[in-house]
Amino acid sequence: MKPLTEPLFITEDYLKAHFGLRYGGEIILPPGTRFTPSARQLLQERSIGIRWQDPKGQHFVSQGDELTDAGHLKQVHALKSDNQRPQNLCQLCESEVAEKPALLTHLDDSHLVPKTHPRIALRGKLDSCISYCVLVQCAMEAQPDKLRSFMADIRSYLGDVLQAEVLNRPLPLPGLGEFDAQTLHRWSHNPMKHLGHDHMLPDAKYGLVVGQLNYLRGLIRELELQATSVFLDDTLKLSPLGEDIVAGLNRLSSAVYVVMQLVWQCQIGNQSLLEELSRGAS
């Protein structure tokens, strides 16, 4: 399990052992953390962003070089890159709502909508899925570091989906560590060839962790279907944001399926498969 506080200087090996390191991802560290040259190079090569979090849970971003926070931190909302107070505008009439009633919530930084709005319902499903993903992470404490870092990537990407939906910004496809979405998709469609086991159907013989991962995979598939319903217009086309989210969730379910297969391989004593896959990616 990742310690609550990181060392002052973080090495490349420490990053690989304690964090998901997918390309374009983000990691959270306490202010004051520094990096060895090789750790800094790894973060830069994979375009991994840094968000700083203090002991009270407050989030900060660096206003200069994000790999060093020395005196240049700006507090931000946990979901955003700013701390701007939202406006209370009615989405229908653009009028200011003096006092927000309980039945309304913010669709974005400006507009209020009823809590029955389809996008608000999607956010609720995302919140539940993220919460369950954290439970799966906790259940995987005894798994190899590589698999736990993969789960960190999955949890991180679910947060990226939520941010993309709330902030209406582009969402790249997910990866796991050094493996991109295309590789994971190929593995998930032919697991016998790439992962040493045929397609897995729900079965108690695979154990609790595989069962929990499979349930998480199912929740992500439900999210994909709900997102399709939310963003599909009358001409059966998805908006650009909808295309990103639906495609991302589709590939994320494949990523979880790959982790399921790898957990099973480790349970039956075939941990060397993880090393073989990593060597093949380098």
The model's pLDDT over 165-210, given as tens digits with 9 standing for 90+, comes to 998 999 999 999 999 999 999 999 999 999 999 999 999 999 999 9
Residue range 235-247: average pLDDT? 94
DSSP 161: H
pLDDT digits (tens, 9 = 90+) for 255-273: 999 999 999 999 999 999 9
49 pLDDT more than 70: yes
Higher pLDDT, 35 or 8: 35
Residue 6 pLDDT level (bands cut at 50, 70, 90)? low
What pLDDT score was predicted for residue 68? 60
Contacts of 178 (CB under 8 A, 6+ apart): 21, 278, 281, 282
- At residue 160, what are phi and psi to the nearest 5 degrees? -65, -40
Sequence length of the chain is 282
CA distance 85 to 64: 23
Tokens matching residue 223: 């999210």
**Most distant CA pair in the chain, distance:** 63
Contacts of 278 (CB under 8 A, 6+ apart): 146, 177, 178
User: Cβ-count burial of 56 within 10 angstroms (0-12 exposed, 13-18 middle, 19+ buried)?
Assistant: exposed
Higher pLDDT, 4 or 130: 130
Tokens matching residue 235: 């001409």
Residue range 91-99: average pLDDT? 59
CA distance 157 to 267: 26
CA distance 191 to 197: 6
CA distance 189 to 146: 21
CA distance 270 to 277: 12
Long-range contact list for 220-228, CB < 8 A, 24+ apart? 220/129, 220/249, 220/252, 220/253, 220/256, 221/249, 221/253, 222/125, 223/122, 223/125, 223/126, 223/129, 223/161, 223/249, 224/249, 224/250, 224/253, 226/121, 226/122, 226/125, 227/122
CA 208 to mean position of chain CA atoms: 22
> Which part of the chain is CATH 1.20.1200.10?
106-281
Which residues share a beta bridge with 179?
Answer: 176
- The CATH-assigned architecture of domain 106-281 is Up-down Bundle (1.20)
CA distance 177 to 53: 23
4 pLDDT more than 50: no
What is the secondary structure of 174-242 as a DSSP string?
P-BTTB-HHHHHHHHH-HHHHHSS-PPPP-GGG-HHHHHHHHHHHHHHHHHHHHHHHHB-TTS-B-HHH
What is the secondary structure of 245-279 as a DSSP string?
HHHHHHHHHHHHHHHHHHHHHHHTT-THHHHHHHH
Mean pLDDT of the chain: 86
